[in-house]
Amino acid sequence: MKKTFPIMAMALVILMLFSSFAFASSRLETIKARGKLIAGVKDAVVPFGYVDAKTNQLVGFDVDICRYIAKRLGVKLELKPVTSATRIPMLTQGSVDLVAATMTHKFSRDDVIDFSITYFMDGQKILVKKGSGIKSVADLAGKKVGTAKGSTSEKNIKKAQPKCIVLSFEGYPQAFLALRQGKVAAVTTDSTILLGLKNSAPNPDDYEIVGDYISAEPYGIGLPENDSDFRDFVNRCLADMWNSGEYKKIYNKWFGPQTKFHLPLTWKMEIWPY
């Protein structure tokens, strides 16, 4: 008994050292050791994250942002589809390293995960059938509005028009289908997602995006809680991307005047001096 006590005490100290090391180590080391960044992206949100019909590959603006980060880490990229409702749980459970999925950073989402600096800027609007007579959220009183479960859009529209009936779908394509079938009078979410729905439809001119912005939706990359090394790295990637012109190249590929989803770049990334 007397002899085993110091051995057990030493084992306990070693165990504590190891566990504190594990606690202090960053996700960065895990990613490098496995040689792969696992990123959560949307798979049905044109042009942020969706399956290209010709190549069957996941592509989009958010996918390219992840590709850049993986390249900077010198690792491969694995993409995992997330929805508005699953993206935060998937991050907290550790099944993805980060989430680039049209996600607005908000203080109320910041309790369980962390966010990068803003890497995309949008705001919420409504999409309706042309000739519906709906010109703004004021006209949605008593009407059904479709959006996605787990989105800020759900909450914002309830606040902007308490008299509308909000139907939350799994994703935006399902909400848009409901609009096409006349089951809802409008779809509401960030304007670029609405533009993606409208301009990917076989008959884009049958729909219009109307009214003023009802919210500001700055997108941040979702990151594991309390991992400042990883967060610093991702923020540095975004800043370098902006400063080198790479951001603009990717932005123009998806939202430039040559695309179907033109959105002029009217904001600047928050860049710290080097």
For ligand GLU (CB under 6 A), the number of binding residues is 12
Cβ-contact 115, 236 below 8 angstroms: no
Task: Give dist(CA 81, CA 52) in Å, integer.
Answer: 14
Report, in Å, the least distance between residue 245 CB and ligand GLU. Answer: 26
Single out the residue of 116, 118, 151, 191 in contact with ligand GLU (rule: CB under 6 A).
Answer: 151
Q: State how far the alpha carbon of 257 is from the alpha carbons of 253, 263, 264, 265, in Å.
A: 9, 8, 8, 10
Report, in Å, the least distance between residue 176 CB and ligand GLU. Answer: 13
CB neighbour list of residue 23: distance below 8 Å, 6 or more residues apart: none
Q: Does residue 43 bind ligand GLU (CB under 6 A)?
A: no
Cβ-contact 123, 130 below 8 angstroms: no
Single out the residue of 217, 223, 224, 233 in contact with ligand GLU (rule: CB under 6 A).
Answer: 217
Q: Does residue 86 bind ligand GLU (CB under 6 A)?
A: no
- Stretch near ligand GLU under the rule CB under 6 A, chosen from 21-29, 31-39, 145-153, 173-181: 145-153
Tell whether the torsion through CA atoms of 47, 255, 246 and 233 is positive or negative. negative
Task: Record the tokens describing residue 67, joined without a space.
Answer: 């590709």
- Stretch near ligand GLU under the rule CB under 6 A, chosen from 14-22, 59-67, 144-152, 195-203: 144-152
Give the orientation angle of helix 228-244 with respect to helix 246-255, to 10 degrees: 80
- Stretch near ligand GLU under the rule CB under 6 A, chosen from 18-26, 31-39, 188-196, 261-269: 188-196
Report, in Å, the least distance between residue 218 CB and ligand GLU. Answer: 9
Paired with 207 in beta bridges are 129
Q: Which residues bind ligand GLU (CB under 6 A)?
A: 84, 102-104, 148, 151-153, 189-190, 193, 217
